[in-house]
Amino acid sequence: MMKKSLLVLLFALIFPLSFVSAENYPYRSDVLWVTVPNHADWIYKTGEKATVEVQFYKYGIPQDGVTVSYEIGGDMMPAETSGSVTLKQGKAVISIGTMKEPGFRDCRMTATVDGKSYKHHVKVGFSPENIKPYTQMPKDFNEFWDNNKAEAARYPLTYTKELAKDYCTDKVDCYLIKLMLNNRGQSIYGYLFYPKNAAKGSCPVVLCPPGAGIKTIKEPLRHKYYAEEGCIRFEIEIHGLNPTMSEEEFKEISNAFNGRENGYLNNGLDNRDNYYMKRVYLGCVRSIDLLTSLPEWDGKNVIVQGGSQGGALALITTGLDNRVTACVANHPALSDMAGYKAGRAGGYPHFFRTGGMDTPDKLKTMAYYDVVNFARLIKVPTYITWGYNDDVCPPTTSYAVYNTLGCPKEALITPINEHWTSNDTEYGQLKWILKHLK
């Protein structure tokens, strides 16, 4: 049963609680946009007409007589119509129109006050529960991945483990892990968190893959509550770069090897066997090997949890590895990536925004690495959250994944959210995990 949570006007929950007592919403901004669709859940049936009441405040004062210009188009698509409205007592109504096919429409607004322009947008959905992925599963999809997993498994589980004193607390022990992936010297790093004095056979294990980019593991203790509440958590990077390097070093590496045209998500996309992400996907499976080898593992529960690219990798690992018993994903990337071929939003990294990406070879490779095809294989309980205003991992693609799942599933939908999740949402995911332990 899909669970929905609307956060439209709960301003204080938008930012971490540490800011609430000292800062206004939005953070240190003089202006506030409020958009109120005439359906409280922001959802319409195809053919229904949607309207949105727009409110605009400066210093908390409704702005009367201000002109709001707008453009309206499909999710991540060019504008189809445009116009303007004049605010009366800080409010106006914009007609969003309708859609004949399931999907989302995006109203992108601009208001100019005292010579400065302010932008905002709002997306509403039309029968999104009927969105189907454009991406099809290759006939030899399972064979391809079974063969690659079998080849990777021939390399023995090999890793180093070093106490990370900076991230140990009175309740948590932390270790820096270097996990070897193959005999070519390729590896991944991660921080492994244990409950202090964990007993043999007592702990569920949780793998946390990272979001996109070449970067360090920021704030390793941010999710220390997993270990504090009895779980072993392995938070990884995917590029074989030691997270103890400085941010400056990571930035230099990213600038050199992760440009728009030569980024790792483009690397080898012409050939399914040479694509960069093959090693990453198999690295997630090898991470499960490590976690299930730990004597403190309870022998039953293996969970994968992540957001964005990490959400994609959580779903992918769950589809690849039948040891996984539950999955949690925020706004997954790499989802229905070729959806643009259907004239609608496709998934991050939005390959078709770069020239030369729309080739038969690249499209073929994408299908072997697309989240929707791994979602078709998932059988265990899965919990996904996403927002409608997300332009990084657009809602069209999250629905394409969610609607494909044939397993027990739940969704937390937060319409106003762009590409972020609140601390409360993230802690709630641990609570969901604990309720689904075997």
Query: Do the Cβ atoms of 238 and 280 come closer than 8 Å?
Result: yes
Q: How far is CA 234 from the centre of its chain?
A: 18
Compute CA distances 8 → 40, 41, 42, 91, 179, whole Å. Answer: 9, 9, 10, 16, 43
Where do the domains of the chain lie? Answer: 28-130, 141-435
Global confidence as pTM: 0.93
Query: Measured between alpha carbons, how far is 76 from 114 in angstroms, rounded to an integer?
Result: 30
Backbone dihedral region for residue 192 (phi beyond 0: left; psi -120 to 50: alpha; all else: beta): beta
Q: Tell me the pLDDT tens digit for each residue of 112-157.
A: 999 999 999 999 999 999 999 999 999 999 999 999 999 999 999 9
Whether pLDDT at 17 is above 60 = no
Share of the chain above pLDDT 70, in %: 94
Give the pLDDT band of residue 21 (cuts 50, 70, 90). very low
Q: Which two tokens stand for residue 287?
A: 């991470």
Query: Measured between alpha carbons, how far is 358 from 379 in angstroms, rounded to an integer?
Result: 32
In the set 127, 187, 287, 308, the catalytic residue is 308
390 belongs to the catalytic site: yes
Any idea what DSSP says for residue 88?
B
CATH fold, domain 141-435, is Rossmann fold (3.40.50)
Query: Measured between alpha carbons, how far is 224 from 317 in angstroms, rounded to an integer?
Result: 22
Q: Tell me the pLDDT tens digit for each residue of 33-44.
A: 999 999 999 999
The CATH architecture one would assign to domain 28-130 is Sandwich (2.60)
* Coil/strand/helix, residue 195: strand
More confident residue, 23 or 283: 283
Mean pLDDT, the chain, rounded, equals: 93
* Mean pLDDT of all residues in 181-187: 94
Whether pLDDT at 3 is above 50 = no
Whether pLDDT at 87 is above 50 = yes
Task: Provide DSSP, 395-414.
Answer: HHHHHHHHHH--SSEEEEE-
173 belongs to the catalytic site: no
Give the pLDDT band of residue 352 (cuts 50, 70, 90). confident
* Mean pLDDT of all residues in 315-320: 98
Query: What's the confidence (pLDDT) of residue 259?
Result: 77
Compute CA distances 292 → 162, 297, 364, 430, whole Å. Answer: 19, 6, 33, 19
In the set 121, 223, 350, 419, the catalytic residue is 419
What lies within 8 Å, CB to CB, of 221 at 6+ separation is: 167, 169, 172
H helical segments located in 294-410: 309-320, 360-369, 371-375, 395-404
Query: Measured between alpha carbons, how far is 46 from 127 in angstroms, rounded to an integer?
Result: 6
Q: How far apart are the first and last CA of the chain?
A: 21
**Locus of tokens 């109120």:** 36
Least confident of 30-34, 195-199, 254-258: 254-258
Q: Tell me the pLDDT tens digit for each residue of 294-307.
A: 999 999 999 999 99
Query: Do the Cβ atoms of 103 and 75 come closer than 8 Å?
Result: yes
Q: Tell me the pLDDT tens digit for each residue of 165-175.
A: 999 999 999 99
CB atoms within 10 A of CB 293: 11
* Mean pLDDT of all residues in 218-240: 96
419 belongs to the catalytic site: yes
Give the pLDDT band of residue 262 (cuts 50, 70, 90). confident
Taking each helix axis from N to C terminus, what angle separates 276-293 and 309-320, rounded to the nearest 10 degrees?
Answer: 70
In the set 298, 321, 336, 390, the catalytic residue is 390
* Pairing mode of beta strands 67-74, 103-113: antiparallel
